[in-house]
Structure 1
Amino acid sequence: MRCPFCGNDDTQVKDSRPTDDNSAIRRRRFCTGCGARFTTFERVQLRELTVVKKSGRRVPFDRDKLERSINLSLRKRPVERERIDRMINGIVRQLESMGDSEISSDTVGEMIMEALKALDTVAYVRFASVYRNFREAKDFEEFAASIEKTEDA
């Protein structure tokens, strides 16, 4: 593993342990060149996934992009980090177990929406406002009304 500080290829693992949900291995590393310490995570990847955008363009699935967009919608919300990590891991596992290596961006978006709906309603609305491209306050009102209808049913 290359040191992120000095670029040295010679780093040593000082400690390895599983993450809380056992979805990854956390490794504490030490650079023999500059003496810096840093952490890496190692995850099992069942298959290479490709996301097919609405335009037809194909891009490799990026777990970090998924995590960033979820974290953005959950910003300043009272949700524990562990619950967010479990949700992200669950979405990734679902995508990997779908049996197809190409997944539409709509499928990914809908999975995120469902997971956020169960986790935090405000984050759900925030994500939906970007994903569904709300343009006016009326769009928010209609979406909020649809949430209230499903909660009442």
Structure 2
Amino acid sequence: MRCPFCAHPDSQVKDSRPTEDGASIRRRRQCEGCGARFSTFERVQLRELTVIKKDGDRQPFDRSKLERSIAVAARKRPIKTEQIERMVSGIQRQLETSGESEVQAGRVGEMVMDGLQRLDPVAYIRFASVYKDFREAKDFEAFAGTVAEAAEREE
């Protein structure tokens, strides 16, 4: 594994342990060149996934991009990092086991919306504002109204 500090090509694994959700392994490494320590994560990847954007552009599925977008929506909310990681792992697992190597970006967005709706209503509305491209305050009001109505029906 290449060192992120000095780009030395070799590092030594000092410690390995499974993550809390058991979906990956965290490895502590030490660079053989500069001696710096860093962590890497190893996950099972069932297949290469390609995301097809709205404009037709194709990009490889990027787990970290998905984690970042959910984290932005969940900022300053009572949502733990582990909850976000579990949600992302679940989405990735569903996509990988679907049997398809290409997935529409809209499908990924809907999966995130479903997960956030169960997790936190504010994060759900924040994500929806970007995903559904809200343009005016009334867009927020209308969407928040549907969220409130759904919550009342569940009670």
TMscore range, shorter length: over 0.9
Write the distance in 1 (CA, Å) between the matches of 2:68 and 2:74: 10
Please tell me the residue identity of whatever aligns with 1:2: R
Distance 1:100 1:16 in 2: 32
Task: Please report how far the alpha carbon of residue 85 of structure 1 lies from its aligned counterpart in structure 2 after TM superposition.
Answer: 1.2
Question: Which position in structure 2 is the counterpart of 1:5?
Answer: 5
Aligned equivalent of 1:143: 143
Matched to 2:76, the amino acid is K
Which amino acid in the other structure matches residue 131 of structure 2?
Y
AA at the equivalent of 2:57 = R
Instruction: Determine the structure 2 residue equivalent to 1:17.
Output: 17
AA paired with 1:124? Y
Q: Deviations over 1:33-89 (max 9, x none)?
A: 111111000111110001111111111111111011001001111111211111111
Partner SS state of residue 118, structure 2: helix
Residue aligning to 1:85: 85
CA distance in 1, matches of 2:15, 2:123: 35
Matches of 2:150 and 2:78 in 1, distance apart?
Answer: 23
Cα RMSD for the two superposed structures: 0.8
Q: In the alignment, what sits opposite 1:99? A: 99
Secondary structure of 2:64's aligned partner: helix
What is the one-letter code of the residue matched to 2:126? R
Give 1:71's aligned residue. 71
Question: What SS class does the counterpart of residue 9 from structure 1 fall into?
Answer: coil
Paired AA for residue 112 in structure 1: V
TM-score w.r.t. length of structure 1: 0.97
Aligned residue for 1:134?
134
Gaps of at least 5 residues in structure 2 are none
Shift, 1:98, TM fit: 1.3
Which residue is equivalent to 2:28? 28
Letter of the aligned partner of 1:110 in structure 2? E
- TM-score scaled by length of structure 2: 0.96
Provide the rounded CA distance (Å) in 2 between the counterparts of 1:73 and 1:55.
Answer: 24
How far apart are residue 10 of structure 1 and its match?
2.0
- Counterpart AA for 1:53: K
Residue 115 (structure 1) aligned with residue 115 (structure 2): yes
Q: Counterpart amino acid of 1:54?
A: K
